[in-house]
Amino acid sequence: MEVKEQLRNVTAPADHLIGGRMPAKPLNKAAIVTRLTLYTLAVLTIYAFFSFDYKELDFMDALLGTFANLKTIFLEPHLKHFSFGHALYQVMVTLGLAFLTTLFGAIIAILFGLLAAENLSSKKTSMVIKSLVAFIRAVPTVLWVLIFAVAAGLGSTAAVIGMTFHSIGYLIKAYSESFEEMDRGVIEALQASGANWWQIVFQAVIPSSITYMISWTFLRFEINFAVAVAMGAAAGAGGIGYDMFMASSFYLDMREIGAITYFILAVAIILEIFAAKIKRKLKTA
Amino acid sequence: MKALLEVNHLTKQFGKDSKALTDVSFSVQEGEFVSIIGPSGAGKSTLLRCINRMIDATGGDIRFQDSQVMNLKKKELKQVRTKIGMIFQHYNLVNRLSVIENTLHGKLGTKSTLAGVLGLYSKEEKQQAVQILNVLGLNEMIYKRADQLSGGQKQRVGIARALIQNPRMLLCDEPIASLDPNSAKVIMDHLKKVSTTMGITVVVNLHQVDVAIKYSDRIIGINKGQVVYNGSAKGLTSEDIQRIYGSEADDLIFDIGGIHAG
Amino acid sequence: MQADIFAKKKRNTLAYLCLLGAVTMLAMVITEYNAVKGIASIPKAVQWGMANFYPTAESLEKLPVILEKMQETLLVSIAATTAAAVFALLFAIFGSNTTRINRFFGAVTRGIATVFRNIDVAAWALILLFSFGQSSLTGYFALFFGSFGFLTRAFTETIDEVSGGSVEALKATGAGYFSIIFQSVIPSSIPQIISWILFMIETNIRSATLIGLLTGSGIGFTFNLYYKSLAYDTASLVVIVIIAAILLIEFASNYVRKVIL
Ligand SMILES: Nc1ncnc2c1ncn2[C@@H]1O[C@H](COP(=O)(O)OP(=O)(O)OP(=O)(O)O)[C@@H](O)[C@H]1O
Ligand SMILES: [Mg+2]
């Protein structure tokens, strides 16, 4: 009896709606924000095109020129100012920079990642570290490198320290989020048997999150390779990036740029394939 | 005889005005098998967690052996926790580790930080783990990863992890709530065996009144954070059940006579 | 047999640690990284920063110029990202396993995206410098190409993840290709797509600083100008403006994400 009464209450307004106008797409908050975001981006983009400083550049000419240049760069690559062996060695240097920064970043980020995870630390500590991470990540890597270069001199040492800073910020965020996904009950079970914090971290937290951690760390290694190329070009870190900068700004040799680009592309694609392999293996293991 | 566990006037308050436990008192003798029953939200889990201080009670006192649990310092608390095993509804195993490693986790409370961090276990400890796993019928599974086990097998690993602590008492929070009737029976039989053959005291939260009556020496009924029944399993009447589960629980009340007979 | 698993684990861990140590040594040698100098530079940098790297009253006079450059950089980043997103969405739809037209076309689009993704924006900037010189357009196109590659991959994964079941369901009702795309694929992946676009804008502002350094435009160039002329107080003001801009964008995107996801 009561149930029927309730049913009628539910269906009554629905009848009313169908009788009136019923929009196919209800406008809720999410839909409004979605549209607003898209409109805002569109308006800003159009405004940007009008406000660009074209410096009396003939846009069509430049665009056609670019296609001609891209053809030269990618179809007629050569090495003139250094040998194939030298290029290979410089690629190794860049990989070395990426490796060191990823390793240092990972070691430091594990410790702070544990402190930043709300379930393993206090709310206050976690918030302090997370704010610090947001700050570190907001400063572009190249600026970290240049700031450290004042103290350590321009070169690989400043580059490693500066790049490590950014890696730490990135990995703390990634690690702490994987730690926070950890099942609360497992931690409780070990607490209930009298285990202490370090034991729980090493026996439960890290074994449970290790696959995510490895994936994230390798992803950062991929990013750091690209960053190391850029730092070679922009902040005197050496490696293949520096050669590219020289080819572009000093020798003005497009064809050499093409050759170097192929080198970078090859390494990056190998790393990507490797990352995909690791991911697949971890998923099944 | 002195009771192993004594709970006096225990209260627990979450936030400002939600009282989960009000003036709960009871005691548990050495070797007893006690079930705690009550509707969802009555405070069963809260009570169990207050006993080994997974959460801190608001008032009252708890005595386990000769320790006043509520006053213990961090180190002494760990000491007491090693004497109390805990078993969970969702097993709470580290999925990526093997069965034997999960079992040995019960030993962490007695280890130095470094040995625990590196996972260094003595030969005797490993042998003990294997022996316990054998008793629980898991001899084939010792080196399997925990996430490859069925629910019933996982719960047996949970029991193994508690038993390797050499506990005086086991606290079990709905150990069979996620299991099918057959696995549930296996688990309850193991718990009963642990209690009778090893003399370990067992306190278990249950949702199945029939199971509680069948296995326990004593039943404690809780409703809205208060003890409303505390007596032998045999003595539980349908009026008592109605008091524990509330008056809407008429359908719940089955043929009590049948169960007592069985 | 019994202790095997533990011994094996120990051996594996040890082997990995040795390997890691060896590679680290090798990397230190070829990059000529000086560990002692590196660690010593941190307190030195902090000390130097405390003494020199903060804005002074004079540097505040430069604030309007800096803000103008920051605005330019912001606009370049946004414009490059949205334009790249449009192309990326097309490529993602043709490249995704659930929505591709045929296998061959799918492989080609994915291949193109892979090439673009793996050439870093800094490399693009150096390549494009030849045609566009020191103008905003160099940075714009460098960001455009880099974002295009990244977003194509992100969108492809989103489409694969989100729309498998619903595409099948609409196919079963006999819906055509374009109605499936517009009624099912895009509506169900739009929150993720917006989330990725916002992420890309944040990243691009940081990259824009780097590109500005390389190509002499935008906020990166401004920083370099003051940094090279040792006007560290003004350079620090530039850094603060960059941080503020990025945190602002991050705050806005976090809000949008919270509402739409
Ligand atoms: N961490 C907490 N914060 C606030 N309130 C809580 C918390 N834990 C439990 N409660 C409240 O305390 C009361 C008792 O909860 P408890 O989990 O002990 O019930 P239960 O008897 O175990 O129920 P169930 O049978 O569903 O497991 C409930 O009203 C619950 O909402
Ligand atoms: Mg409960």
pLDDT score of A23? 55
- Is there a single domain that holds both residue B109 and residue B77? no
How many A from CA of B50 to the centre of ligand 1?
A: 12
Residue B248 lies in a domain: yes
Residue A268 lies in a domain: yes
DSSP string, chain C: -TTHHHHHHHHHHHHHHHHHHHHHHHHHHHHT--HHHHHHHHHHHHHHHHHH-S--HHHHTTHHHHHHHHHHHHHHHHHHHHHHHHHHHHHHHHHSTTT-S-HHHHHHHHHHHHHHHHS-HHHHHHHHHHHH-SSHHHHHHHHHHHHHHHHHHHHHHHHHHHHHHHHHHHHHTT--HHHHIIIIIHHHHHHHHHHHHHHHHHHHHHHHHHHHHHHT-HHHHHHHHHHHTT-HHHHHHHHHHHHHHHHHHHHHHHHHHHHH-
Residue B196 lies in a domain: yes
Residue A183: list chain B partners with CB under 8 A. 90, 92
CB contact under 8 A, B126 and C6: yes
Residues 6+ apart with CB under 8 A from A99: A221, A224, C23, C24, C27
Locus of tokens 């080198």: A263
Q: What value does the mean pLDDT take over residues B215-231?
A: 94
Q: Identify the residue with better confidence: A60 or C147.
A: C147
Percent of chain A with pLDDT strictly greater than 90: 45
Q: Which of the listed residues B122, B146, B166 is the one where a domain comes to its end?
A: B166
pLDDT tens per residue across span B148-171: 999 999 999 999 999 999 999 999
- Is there a single domain that holds both residue B121 and residue B203? no
d(CA C97, CA B120): 48
Task: Look up the ipTM and state it.
Answer: 0.85
Locus of tokens 């169960």: B259
The answer to whether the CB of A282 falls within 8 A of the CB of A211 is yes
The CA–CA distances, whole Å, from C249 to C76, C148, C210 equal 14, 20, 18
Q: Which of the listed residues B120, B137, B166 is the one where a domain comes to its end?
A: B166
Q: What value does the mean pLDDT take over residues A240-248?
A: 89
- Residue closest by Cα to atom 25 of ligand 1: B40
Residues belonging to chain C: 261
The answer to whether the CB of B214 falls within 8 A of the CB of B176 is no
Residue A97 lies in a domain: yes
Poorest-confidence range of A2-11, A271-280, B220-229, C201-210?
A: A2-11
- Is there a single domain that holds both residue B63 and residue B128? no
**Closest to C205 (Cα-Cα) out of C139, C257, C148:** C139
CB-CB neighbours of B58 under 10 Å:
14
Identity of the residue in B92, B101, B118 whose CB atom sits nearest the CB atom of A185: B92
> CATH 1.10.3720.10 region(s) of chain C?
57-260
How many A from CA of C240 to the centre of ligand 2?
A: 51
d(CA C234, CA C240): 10
- Is there a single domain that holds both residue B4 and residue B113? no
pLDDT score of A191? 92
Number of domains composing chain A: 1
How many A from CA of B84 to the centre of ligand 2?
A: 18
Percent of chain C with pLDDT strictly greater than 70: 98
Q: Identify the residue with better confidence: B215 or A151.
A: B215
Q: Which CATH architecture has domain C57-260?
A: Orthogonal Bundle (1.10)
Residue B148 lies in a domain: yes
Residue B119: list chain C partners with CB under 8 A. 6, 9
- Is there a single domain that holds both residue B36 and residue B113? no
Most confident of the following: A162-166, B246-250, C95-99, C132-136: A162-166
**Which pLDDT band, with edges at 50, 70 and 90, does A282 fall under?**
confident
Identity of the residue in A186, A193, A202 whose CB atom sits nearest the CB atom of B109: A193
d(CA C210, CA A234): 7
| Any ligand 1 atom below 6 A from CB of B12 | no
| Any ligand 1 atom below 6 A from CB of B38 | yes
The CA–CA distances, whole Å, from A146 to C210, C212, C233 equal 11, 14, 14
| Any ligand 1 atom below 6 A from CB of B43 | yes
Q: Is the confidence at residue B79, as pLDDT, over 70?
A: yes
What are φ and ψ of residue C141, in 5° steps?
A: -70, -35
Helix, strand, or coil here: B131? helix
Query: How distant is the Cα of B56 from the closest Cα of chain A, in angstroms?
Result: 13
pLDDT score of A54? 64
- Is there a single domain that holds both residue B76 and residue B129? no
Number of domains composing chain B: 2
Six-digit token pair at C200? 């890309």
CB-CB neighbours of B228 under 10 Å:
15
Identity of the residue in B81, B116, B162 whose CB atom sits nearest the CB atom of A198: B116
Q: Under an 8 Å CB criterion, which residues of A touch B?
A: 183, 185-186, 188-196, 198-204, 207-208, 210-211
Residue B198 lies in a domain: yes
DSSP 8-state code for residue A202: I
Residue B143: list chain C partners with CB under 8 A. 5
The residue range of the domain holding A148 is 84-284
Identity of the residue in B81, B92, B117 whose CB atom sits nearest the CB atom of A199: B117
- Is there a single domain that holds both residue B158 and residue B195? no
The residue range of the domain holding B38 is 1-83+169-262
Residue A271 lies in a domain: yes
Q: Which of the listed residues B120, B140, B166 is the one where a domain comes to its end?
A: B166
d(CA A122, CA C146): 39
How many A from CA of B43 to the centre of ligand 1?
A: 5
Task: Report the CATH number at residue B242.
Answer: 3.40.50.300
Six-digit token pair at B11? 């209260």
Q: What value does the mean pLDDT take over residues B185-202?
A: 94
pLDDT score of A275? 86
pLDDT score of C169? 75
pLDDT score of A129? 95
The answer to whether the CB of B157 falls within 8 A of the CB of B183 is no
Residue A278 lies in a domain: yes
Identity of the residue in C2, C6, C9 whose CB atom sits nearest the CB atom of B130: C2
How many A from CA of C200 to the centre of ligand 2?
A: 45
CB contact under 8 A, B111 and A199: yes
pLDDT tens per residue across span C191-208: 899 999 999 998 999 898
The answer to whether the CB of B33 falls within 8 A of the CB of B195 is yes
Cα pseudo-dihedral A261, A267, A270, A275, rounded to 10: -110
pLDDT score of B249? 57
Query: How distant is the Cα of B17 from the closest Cα of chain A, in angstroms?
Result: 23
Residue B74 lies in a domain: yes
The answer to whether the CB of A120 falls within 8 A of the CB of A201 is yes
Task: Report the CATH number at residue A200.
Answer: 1.10.3720.10
The CA–CA distances, whole Å, from B147 to B150, B155, B172 equal 8, 12, 21
- Is there a single domain that holds both residue B6 and residue B77? yes
| Any ligand 1 atom below 6 A from CB of B40 | yes
Locus of tokens 């989103």: C158
pLDDT tens per residue across span A131-163: 999 999 999 999 889 888 888 888 888 899 999
- Is there a single domain that holds both residue B158 and residue B53? no
**Which pLDDT band, with edges at 50, 70 and 90, does A108 fall under?**
very high
Q: What value does the mean pLDDT take over residues C150-179?
A: 81
| Any ligand 1 atom below 6 A from CB of B90 | no
Residue A244 lies in a domain: yes
The CA–CA distances, whole Å, from B89 to A181, B175, B216 equal 19, 5, 19
Per-window interface: B 76-135 vs C, CB < 8 A: 98, 100-101, 119, 121, 123, 126-127, 130
Q: Is the confidence at residue B31, as pLDDT, over 50?
A: yes
pLDDT score of A75? 86
pLDDT tens per residue across span A10-65: 333 444 444 445 555 566 788 888 889 999 999 999 998 888 766 666 777 777 88
Percent of chain C with pLDDT strictly greater than 90: 30
Q: Is the confidence at residue C1, as pLDDT, over 60?
A: no
Residue B88 lies in a domain: no
CA angle B70, B75, B80 (to 5 degrees): 60
pLDDT score of A44? 93
pLDDT score of A154? 83
The answer to whether the CB of B156 falls within 8 A of the CB of B190 is yes
Chains with 3+ CB–CB pairs under 8 A to B are: A, C
CB contact under 8 A, A195 and B118: no
Residue A121 lies in a domain: yes
Chain B interface includes C6 (CB < 8 A): yes
The answer to whether the CB of B208 falls within 8 A of the CB of B177 is no
pLDDT tens per residue across span C36-46: 888 888 888 88
- Is there a single domain that holds both residue B261 and residue B208? yes
